[in-house]
Amino acid sequence: MLQRSRILGPGLCLDFAYSICDLIIALWSGSLFFLNCVHVLSGGAWTVVELFTALAMRRVLRGLRPEVRAEFVKKLVPARLFFMPALASVSITAGVYLANGKAATSILYR
C-alpha cells in the first residue's frame, strides 16, 4: 500500500511562521535596523532558493528517469508555491516600510 507523504511539512510551515513573525516584530519595534535586516535576509533567502533551484536542481533532475523526475517535481512545486510568495511578500513589505520610513535620512544610515 502506498503511503501518502505530506507536501507541506512542519519545517516549511515553521519557516513561513518565523519570517512573518520577524516582520511583525520589526514593524512593532519601530527599529529601522531590524526592519532592514528582515528585508535583506528575506530577500537574500528568496534569491538563494531561486538560484539553487534553477542551477543546482537542473543538473540533478537531468540525470533522473522521467518518472522519478515527475514525482520529484510533483512534491517540489507545491512547497515552492507556498514558501516563495511568503519570502517575497516579507521582503517587499519590509522594503515598502523602509521606503516610507525615510530610512535614508535616519541616523543609522549617515
Output the pLDDT for position 79.
76
Output the pLDDT for position 110.
47
Output the pLDDT for position 58.
85
Domain range list for the chain: 11-102
Using CA atoms, how far residue 63 sits from 13, 42, 53, 66, 79, in Å, is: 30, 31, 15, 9, 22
Output the pLDDT for position 92.
92
* Per-position pLDDT tens, the chain of length 110: 444 555 556 666 677 778 888 888 888 888 888 999 999 999 998 898 888 888 888 888 888 898 988 888 888 887 788 788 888 999 999 999 888 875 544 545 44
Supply the pTM of this predicted model: 0.73
